[in-house]
Amino acid sequence: MNDNMPSFERLYEFLKANYRHERFEGRNNHIWNVDGVEYSTIVTNSHMEYMQEFGIGVISCFESKTGEVIKFDLDLNIIHGCNGCNGCNCNEVE
């Protein structure tokens, strides 16, 4: 277990600030929710699991508000953003 993990609440707010609304809270409805759990909660839990395993988080260019890949550390500092989906060939974020 990584003791440096952000709280669920902090990560949720970070994701909310950096995700496109329609890819995060905009999907909190009966179509996207699973067993009564809101989609944005599922996404946040998925990020928590990924960060626990790899020590970083990544928001894809399709999900981020900027349209760029966002890589961030356990303190929720953005450590890399690139135009990877538009041809920068940045293997660091894959």
- Higher-confidence residue of 19 and 2: namely 19
49: left (phi over 0), alpha (psi -120 to 50) or beta: alpha
Q: How high is the pLDDT of residue 85? A: 53
The domain ranges of the chain are 8-93
What does pTM read for this prediction?
0.82
Tens digits of residue pLDDT in 53-64: 999 999 999 999
Question: Would the pLDDT of 82 be above 70?
Answer: no
| Percentage of residues in the chain having pLDDT higher than 70 | 82
**8 A C-beta contact, residue 44 and residue 15:** yes
**8 A C-beta contact, residue 13 and residue 46:** no
Measured CA to CA, the distance from residue 63 to residue 80 in angstroms comes to 15
Q: In sequence order, which residues have a C-beta less than 8 Å from that of residue 50 and are 6 or more positions away?
A: 57, 58
Q: In sequence order, which residues have a C-beta less than 8 Å from that of residue 76 and are 6 or more positions away?
A: 6, 10, 11, 14, 57
